[in-house]
Structures are given as structure tokens and as C-alpha cells.
Amino acid sequence: MPKNDTATEILVLYYSPGGTTAEMANIIARGVEEVDGVQARIRTVPGVSANTEQSEAVIPEDGPLYATIDDLDECDGLILGCPTHYGNMPAAMKYFIDGTSALWMGGKLAGKPAAVFSASTSMHGGQESTLLTMMLPLLHHGMLIVGLPYTETELFQTKTGGSPYGATRLTDDLEATPLSDEERKLCIALGKRVATTAKKLIQ
């Protein structure tokens, strides 16, 4: 969707080799767009190769476009998501973030709200440490981290995903284990919180 020049825009940026965080990204984007005057721009990042050859097409065959530095520069807020890899963000997302030094030097993201989300296949798979690793470069950029406070009562009720650090999901099978009601509500809440914060900061 082309950006409405009068709209506040939130970039929902994710990496999802298995589709789990992609589904979360779409639900979070719905939460963003529940806030009047705010729209979501959904982007992904390509995988990385062990060699220097291009391993994927410049434009994906389906789904959202690959993110560019301009997507980050133009956004009014950022929601970043990826699966847990040994309690850390995957190389593909780290590679993209490592290429944002020009934005850092120009302070282009400073003062903008940001949030993070993740997924894992086990309860103790490192979701919260992954969320924290994603926050660190955002803090270096001067972004304002927006989490999920316990006023979101699903945090008290969830038996699967959900953290005050951000939205999370617990599943090892997309079809057999859909998002729980609490996970879905927390995804929407995260999108709404970033959208509301961005809108207030712009006014």
C-alpha cells in the first residue's frame, strides 16, 4: 500500500523462514491499523548465504518485499520480529541491521518508538533473550522501546507465548498449533501500542 502522506506509518519488519513470525507480523500489522490515522508497512529480509554469491532473488516470489534502508528512514515507528536461534536473533536479521550504520550516524531513528516479537518451538527456547538481543541495536539507534505492560491482562493468563518484553509465540507446527487467543491478543496489543505512541510523538 502506498503511504498516505498524512498517515503515521509503522514498519513491521520480520524474518520468517518457517512462516511463524510472518503470521505474527500480519496480526501485529492489524493492531497497528486499528489506530486511526496509522498504517503498517510490512517488509521482510532475505536469508544469508555462506558464500558471496546471491542466494535469493532481489524481489521475493511471494509475500512482502524485502526491506530497504529507505523503509527504515521513512517509518515513524518500527516493530521487529524473528524466530529464536539459540536465544539470539538469526543471522539474516543481524546482517540487515548491521547495514544501518548510515541511519545511526544521521540519527534517523532516534526518538521513534520500537517493539520486538519472536517465536520458538519450546517454552524455554530463549524467546526473552532473543527479544533483548533485538532491542540492543534499536537502543543504539536511540529508539524508544515499547513493551507489553501487565495492564494487558493476557500476560497473566497465557500458558504459551507472551512477555512484557514483546509478543512471543510457542509452536512447532503452524497447522497443528495455531496462535492461542492470548498470543493473538498480545500481538494486536503490541501493534496498537507502537502505533499510538508514534502518533502521540508526532503530534
Question: What's the rounded Cα separation, in Å, for the pair 8 and 199?
Answer: 6
Segment (H or E) for 190: helix 181-202
Query: What pLDDT does 124 receive?
Result: 80
Euclidean distance between CA atoms 152 and 145, whole angstroms: 17
Report which DSSP code applies to 166.
Answer: B
DSSP codes joined into one string, 29-90: HHHHHTSTTEEEEEEE-----SSSS--S-SS-SSSSPBP-HHHHHH-SEEEEEEE-BTTB--
The sign one gets for the Cα dihedral 112, 113, 119, 124 is positive
pLDDT at 1: 46
* pLDDT tens for the 203 residues of the chain, in order: 445 567 899 999 999 988 899 999 999 999 999 999 999 999 999 988 766 555 556 666 667 899 999 999 999 999 999 999 999 999 999 999 999 999 999 999 999 999 999 999 887 888 999 999 999 999 999 999 999 999 999 999 999 999 999 999 988 665 667 899 999 999 999 999 999 999 999 97
pLDDT of residue 121: 86
Cβ(124)–Cβ(88) under 8 Å? no
pLDDT score at 18: 85
All structural domains of the chain, each given as residue ranges with its CATH number in brackets, are: 8-202 (3.40.50.360)
C-alpha dist (Å) from residue 150 to 10, 153, 155: 23, 6, 6
| Sign of the torsion angle spanned by Cα atoms 36, 41, 98, 45 | positive
Q: What is the DSSP letter of 110?
A: T
Closest by alpha carbon to 198, among 74, 21, 26? 74
So what's the pLDDT on residue 4?
A: 58
CB atoms within 10 A of CB 53: 6
Enter the pTM of the model.
Answer: 0.92
